Amino acid sequence: MLLTVAGFDPSGGAGLILDLQVFRSLGFQGTAVVTALTSQNIQRVFEVKALPPSFVRSQYQALKKDFSWEGMKVGLIGNRSLLPIIKEILEELANRPRVIDPIFQASSGACFLDPKAIPDFLKTIAERASVITPNLHEASTITGLKIKTVEDMEKAAKRIYEMTGLPCLLKGGHRPGRIFDLLYTERKVRIFESPRQAIKVHGTGCFLSASLLAYLVLKKDLEKACAAALLFTQKAIKKAIKPHRGRAFFSFLN
């Protein structure tokens, strides 16, 4: 059993709906604590409504009466006011795999977390997770560094590790050319290289972080889990469905 603490995307292409589908595709039942509601489609986000902290805590308290979890991920938070309950859940599920997917802004530009809240976000997650999975824009926002090269990626991932105490899987998909994803841990740096696919898919960050959590539970090793999750994501992108409008989305039909 896995837990996602994330936002609701009514298109089903990202957020907790996608997380639950990824969990099931890898053999896990999933449960979800909803942090925020969004009005969006595959093309853009129109509105975001963070839920009250008391209601988010109520969801978690209700679920834990019936379930125990092998691991959890945190996705979209939506508001600084939810950070205390995020900290509470991370601490209660210590010694289990915990993945942080830092979602600050939508691709269409909508803000999911006030930039002024990011220092508090970093304090909330510091040394309370197994790995953090920022993309280049998120890593730049966290560190203040401009990231253009693989060398820049390593500097940023190291900085994030120093700021949070968390291993960092820095996703390089926003750079042109072949894709380089970089895992920085206290012991080593591992670079994963993959070809760029022509299709752009909604929810790739959610898909990757959810699959990474599942593989962490299965493989008990961060580097092996990252390799497996990246490969699983690449294969899923190839099978993505292209709608009449907007970006493609992941299919779980076969």
What pTM was estimated for this model as a whole? Answer: 0.95
pLDDT at 246: 73
Higher pLDDT, 113 or 88: 88
pLDDT at 108: 63
Query: Does 110 score more than 90 pLDDT?
Result: no
For 239-252, what is the mean pLDDT? 82
Poorest-confidence range of 49-63, 65-79, 94-108, 225-239? 94-108
d(CA 75, CA 186): 24
Domain for residue 252, yes or no?
no
The C-alpha torsion from 56 through 61 and 67 to 71, rounded to 10°, is 50
What is the band of 133 on the pLDDT scale with cuts at 50, 70, 90? Answer: very high
- Higher-pLDDT residue of 126, 249: 126
Separation between Cα atoms, residue 65 and residue 76, nearest integer Å: 24
Average pLDDT in the 147-176 region? 92
Looking at the predicted structure, is the pLDDT value of residue 171 above 80? yes
> What CATH number does residue 231 fall under?
3.40.1190.20
- The domain tally of the chain equals 1
| 253 within a domain of the structure (yes/no) | no
- Mean local confidence (pLDDT), 155-181: 91
> Is residue 229 predicted with pLDDT exceeding 70?
yes
Tens of pLDDT, residue by residue over 11-48, are 888 999 999 999 999 999 999 999 999 998 888 889 99
Question: Alpha-carbon distance 134 to 132, whole Å?
Answer: 6
CA–CA distance, 230 with 225 (Å, rounded to integer): 9
Is 124 among the domain residues?
Answer: yes
pLDDT in tens, 71-93: 999 999 999 999 999 999 999 99
Please tell me the predicted confidence (pLDDT) of residue 168: 98
- Residue 4, C-beta contacts closer than 8 angstroms, at least 6 positions apart: 16, 19, 20, 23, 30, 31, 32, 33, 72, 73, 75, 210
Within-domain flag for 254: no
| 249 within a domain of the structure (yes/no) | no
Poorest-pLDDT segment among 151-165, 197-211, 239-253: 239-253
Q: Is the pLDDT assigned to residue 118 strictly greater than 80?
A: yes
User: Of 90, 70, 94, 74, which is closest to residue 33 (Cα–Cα)?
Assistant: 74
- Separation of alpha carbons 158 and 164, rounded Å: 10
pLDDT bin (cut points 50, 70, 90) of residue 105 is confident
DSSP state of 151: H
Task: Give Cα separations from 16 to 3, 179, 214 (angstroms).
Answer: 10, 26, 14
Residue 121 lies in a domain: yes
For the cut 70, the answer to whether the pLDDT of residue 164 exceeds it is yes
Q: Is the residue at 62 inside a domain? A: yes
Whether 65 is in a domain gets the answer yes
Domain that holds residue 20: 2-238
CA 218 to chain centre: 18
**Angstrom distance (rounded) from CA 148 to CA 172:** 10
Question: For residue 71, what pLDDT is reported?
Answer: 98
Amino acid code (one letter) for 47: E
